[in-house]
């Protein structure tokens, strides 16, 4: 079942604030059990998108469904808010409440039974390493601990979709790592996560698919697909001596894309280095060439991101 | 709207208030001053033989005017509580996750209102009991009977005071959308304080008499203000409004 059901489905979703278009014709879908990264610079419309999908603000036009419920219908908005969990960019904890009371309050709002609340409060506080601090005021927590508590709060009612708005922003590397590891743990449990971030490394490590956004959607796909989408990878082969006509002729027969030679190096575009490079090396050797080195270079997700958001 | 959900919000706020000194000060100081100050003034003037102020013919009107301070207190105290309740959440940025839950705007607003109304009612009714007992104690010899309780103060406590509290809470919601700290929100309390102080001064100078009829008319006016403030505050306390337009 996982992966077949579209839990988030948007079509031309648009939000305008007066003359300013914050989100323009966004079309995407996120499947059940998928970790979806939503990448974009500050002001790209990521938070506005999450707020629309969480029924916190209205859309201007377009459509969006969460778990089959329409965000534009008033009667559906409460149903949507029942099946989602939100970790906002500002954790928004009640600083004068203990960690336990902070999440227990949310359990009550979501109609969790006493037994379920007790079990989940303990489960998530333990998973996030906060159980020993359950009776400590949230206001005394470090940023990392607050972030973890905000995640526990969003999970307390076991939502179908978890929205996380830059969960590792402003955290020190160690705290960010702990949060990332927890998200990976949720990924193993097949939780559906919509992750707003501008941390490309994080997106690459955690997300099944990512979308690059800057008011409008610039690209969508797996991190690997996006890396290749702007400019594909290249193979650079170093030879012991300059490429002679025999070597060059042999390579021409392979119909390699953008083949070029520069002294003792040969460069060409490659789709699948594992498959293509071996036949290229074989052709060079058979034509009398001696291979010194093989390197595959390509655009990174960062290259793709920078190119797309600057469009 | 589900009252049970509003009560969950209010119960959480009560837990928070236990740890916030400013809220305690709001709840305790003004009621204590009102309940103790006037009996002490009366006793002081009686002890000094100033029968002009404590003369039997003057006392009933004076006591009615004094008891109006319970209404002024009831309008003033919730400003501190409601302001903390809403502006506090704003400062801690805890409204967004709350708004992302299945609670309706009305349930959150009602919860906030309950958390400001109940402590105020408890504090002001307790202050009223101390006030009445204290006044009776120092005026019994002059009047020859216990002045309180009577229908005038019953009207004041049962009709006028709740209407004044609701007005104050609704006003606080509107103010909270425009300020970013509790102190600023509290300073707007003067807008609640001054009109009611004006009524008190009018009664002291004999322009109006604070009898049952007057109190019912004042209650009616405040009720109309409540209705107007209700529409403004519910329009202010909307998810989109809070997330995009609140300062």
Rounded to whole angstroms, the Cα distance separating A116 from B58 reads 65
Contact A97 B15 (CB under 8 A): yes
Cβ distance B101 to A137 less than 8 Å, yes or no, reads no
pLDDT band at B209 (very low <50, low <70, confident <90, very high): confident
CB < 8 Å to A99, chain B: none
Q: Helices marked H in A143-300 — which ranges?
A: 143-155, 173-188, 200-206, 223-230, 245-253, 273-286
Strand partners, A17: A20
Mean pLDDT of chain B: 88
Instruction: Spell out, as residue ranges, where chain A has pLDDT lower than 70.
Output: 1-4, 230-232, 299, 311
**pLDDT single digits (tens) A127-151:** 888 999 999 999 999 988 999 999 9
Distance CA B134, CA B36 (A): 7
B232 at A interface, C-beta within 8 A: no
What pLDDT score was predicted for residue B57?
A: 78
The segment(s) of chain A belonging to CATH 3.40.50.300 are 6-221
Q: pLDDT digit string (tens) for B161-194?
A: 999 999 999 998 888 877 878 788 878 877 878 8
Give the distance from residue B92's alpha carbon to the nearest chain A alpha carbon, in angstroms.
6
From-to residues of CATH 3.30.70.100 in chain A: 232-299
Return the CATH fold of A232-299: Alpha-Beta Plaits (3.30.70)
C-alpha torsion sign, points A140, A143, A147, A148:
negative
CB A62 within 8 A of CB A55: no
- Residue B51 pLDDT: 60
At B85 the pLDDT is 82
Q: Suggest the residue from A67, A95, A109, A139 to mutate for an interface test with chain B (most B CBs closer than 10 A).
A: A109
From the options 3.90.1150.10, 3.40.50.300, 3.30.360.10, 3.40.1110.10, give the CATH code of A6-221: 3.40.50.300
Residues 6+ apart with CB under 8 A from A188: none
CA atoms of B206 and B185, how far apart (whole Å): 33
Tell me the percentage of chain B whose pLDDT exceeds 70. 98
Please count the other Cβ atoms lying within 10 Å of the Cβ belonging to residue B2.
13
Total number of domains in chain B: 1
Say if residue B24's pLDDT is above 60: yes
Partnered with residue A5 across adjacent β-strands are: none
A93/B244 touch (CB, cutoff 8 Å), yes or no: no
* CB-based contact A54 B16, cutoff 8 Å: no
Long-range CB contacts for residues B2-6, cutoff 8 Å, separation at least 24: B2/B107, B3/B110, B5/A109, B5/B103, B5/B104, B5/B107, B5/B111, B6/B107, B6/B108, B6/B110, B6/B111, B6/B114
- Lowest mean pLDDT across A163-177, B42-56, B194-208: B42-56
Residues spanned by the domain of B231:
3-244
Q: Is the pLDDT of residue B130 over 50?
A: yes
- B100 interaction partners in chain A (CB closer than 8 Å): 54-56, 81, 84, 86, 88
pLDDT over threshold 90, residue B123: yes
Q: Are A76 and A70 in contact (CB under 8 A)?
A: yes
Supply the pLDDT for residue A1.
41
Return the pLDDT at A2. 47
Q: For the sheet containing A161-165, what is the strand order?
A: A69-70, A61-66, A6-17, A20-31, A216-221, A209-214, A35-39, A192-197, A161-165, A84-87
Residue B145 and residue B40 in contact, taking contact as beta carbons nearer than 8 Å = no
A14 CA to centre of own chain: 21
């Amino acid at each position: 079942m996982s992966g077949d059901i579209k839990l988030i489905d948007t079509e031309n979703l648009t939000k305008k604030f007066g003359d300013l278009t914050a989100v323009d014709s966004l079309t995407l879908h996120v499947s059940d059990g998928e970790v979806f990264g939503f990448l974009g610079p500050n002001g790209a419309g990521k938070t506005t998108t999450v707020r629309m999908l969480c029924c916190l603000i209205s859309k201007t036009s377009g459509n969006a469904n969460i778990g089959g419920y329409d965000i534009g219908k008033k009667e559906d908005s409460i149903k949507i808010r029942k099946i989602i969990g939100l970790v906002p960019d500002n954790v928004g904890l009640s600083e004068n409440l203990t960690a336990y009371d902070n999440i227990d309050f949310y359990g009550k709002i979501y109609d969790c039974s006493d037994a379920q609340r007790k079990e989940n409060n303990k489960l998530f506080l333990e998973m996030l390493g906060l159980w020993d601090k359950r009776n400590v005021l949230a206001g005394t927590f470090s940023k990392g601990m607050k972030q973890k508590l905000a995640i526990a709060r969003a999970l307390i009612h076991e939502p179908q979709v978890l929205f996380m708005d830059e969960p590792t922003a402003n955290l020190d590397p160690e705290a960010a790592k702990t949060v990332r590891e927890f998200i990976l743990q949720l990924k193993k449990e097949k939780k559906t996560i919509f992750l707003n971030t501008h941390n490309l490394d994080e997106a690459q490590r955690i997300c099944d698919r990512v979308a690059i956004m800057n008011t409008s959607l610039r690209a969508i796909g797996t991190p690997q697909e996006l890396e290749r989408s702007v400019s594909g990878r290249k193979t650079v082969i170093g030879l012991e001596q300059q490429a002679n006509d025999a070597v060059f002729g042999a390579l021409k027969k392979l119909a390699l894309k953008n083949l070029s030679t520069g002294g003792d190096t040969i460069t060409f575009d490659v789709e699948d280095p594992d498959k293509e490079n071996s036949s290229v090396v074989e052709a060079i050797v058979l034509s009398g060439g001696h291979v010194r080195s093989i390197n595959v270079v390509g655009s990174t997700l960062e290259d793709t991101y920078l190119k797309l958001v600057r469009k | 709207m589900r009252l049970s959900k509003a009560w969950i919000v209010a119960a959480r706020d009560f837990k928070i208030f236990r740890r916030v000194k400013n809220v305690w000060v709001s709840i305790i100081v003004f009621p204590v001053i009102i309940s103790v100050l006037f009996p002490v003034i009366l006793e002081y003037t009686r002890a000094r033989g100033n029968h002009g102020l404590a003369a039997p013919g003057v006392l009933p009107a004076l006591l009615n005017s004094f008891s109006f301070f319970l209404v002024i207190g009831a309008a003033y105290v919730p400003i501190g509580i409601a302001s903390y309740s809403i502006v506090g959440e704003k400062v801690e940025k805890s409204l967004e996750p709350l708004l992302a839950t299945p609670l309706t705007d009305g349930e959150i607003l009602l919860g906030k209102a309950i958390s400001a109304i109940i402590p105020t009612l408890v504090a002001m009714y307790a202050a009223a009991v101390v006030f009445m007992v204290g006044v009776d104690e120092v005026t019994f010899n002059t009047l020859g009977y216990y002045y309180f309780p009577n229908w005038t103060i019953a009207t004041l406590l049962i009709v006028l005071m709740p209407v004044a509290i609701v007005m104050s809470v609704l006003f606080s919601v509107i103010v909270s959308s425009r300020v970013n700290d509790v102190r600023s929100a509290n300073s707007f309390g003067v807008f609640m304080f001054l009109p009611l102080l004006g009524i008190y001064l009018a009664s002291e100078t004999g322009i109006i008499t604070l009898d049952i009829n007057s109190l019912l008319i004042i209650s009616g006016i405040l009720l109309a203000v409540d209705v107007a403030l209700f529409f403004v505050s519910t329009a202010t306390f909307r998810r989109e409004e809070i997330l995009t337009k609140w300062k």
